[in-house]
């Protein structure tokens, strides 16, 4: 793929990521308020479902679209997602202390939860790991400035 086209794709994906992250962050805030309530309504459970689904999609988008696009630009697109994560840890984009397998396991759990309840671990873990995604995206945007994006 031509480098100019790939840079345009990266630029567009970063913009999409910004918008998606803003919505995800708002959903995290709403879920935190909901979880403080004594009774969680059915309508509020919809917000919790949206939270977990958005967490899952943000993680997939980050790992499979954004990081992969940067790998293509740098001509290092090879190996598994774990290989990609390790490369981005070395580049300083991802924190060494985050076990990204835990996040992928959470994503897989979310995919197999059919009814989301306020007591579910996937809800609380989505909130717990939201800052990890937010920070990783911010670090990636800083890293991508070297491409002029």
Domain at 56, CATH number: 1.20.120
Q: How far is CA 42 from CA 45, 53, 93, 117, in A?
A: 5, 17, 39, 9
Q: How many domains does the chain have?
A: 1
Task: Write down the pLDDT at residue 1.
Answer: 55
Residue by residue, what is the 3-state secondary structure of 54-88? HHHHHHHHHHHHHHHHHHHHCCCCCCCHHHHHHHH
Q: Please report where in the chains the tokens 């070297």 appear, as a residue.
A: 146
Ordered per-residue pLDDT tens for the chain, 149 residues: 566 789 999 999 999 999 999 999 999 999 999 999 999 999 999 999 999 999 999 999 999 999 999 999 999 878 899 999 999 999 999 998 889 999 999 999 998 876 777 778 999 999 999 999 999 999 999 999 999 88
Burial of 7 (0-12, 13-18, 19+ CB in 10 A): middle
Cα 122 to its chain centre, rounded Å, is 14
60: containing domain? 3-147
In the three-class reduction of DSSP (H, G, I as helix; E, B as strand; rest coil), residue 106 is classed as: helix
Question: What DSSP line would sit under 3-52, residue for residue?
Answer: HHHHHHHHHHHHHHHHHHHHHHHHHHHHHHHHHTSSS--HHHHHHHHHHH
Q: What is the pLDDT of residue 4?
A: 78
Q: Which helix (H) or strand (E) holds 138?
A: helix 121-144
Per-residue confidence (pLDDT) for residue 2, from 0 to 100: 67
């Amino acid at each position: 793929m031509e480098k100019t086209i790939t840079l345009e794709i990266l630029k567009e994906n970063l913009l999409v990521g910004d918008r998606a992250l803003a919505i995800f962050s708002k959903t995290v805030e709403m879920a935190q308020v909901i979880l403080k309530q004594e009774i969680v309504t059915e309508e509020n459970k919809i917000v919790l479902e949206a939270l977990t689904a958005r967490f899952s999609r943000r993680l997939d988008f980050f790992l499979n679209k954004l990081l992969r696009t940067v790998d293509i630009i740098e001509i290092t697109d090879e190996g598994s997602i774990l290989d990609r994560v390790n490369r981005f840890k070395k580049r300083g984009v991802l924190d060494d202390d985050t076990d990204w397998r835990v996040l992928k396991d959470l994503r897989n759990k979310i995919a197999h939860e059919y009814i989301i309840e306020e007591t579910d671990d996937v809800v609380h873990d989505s909130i717990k790991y939201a800052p990890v995604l937010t920070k990783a995206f911010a670090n990636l945007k800083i890293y991508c400035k070297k491409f002029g994006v």
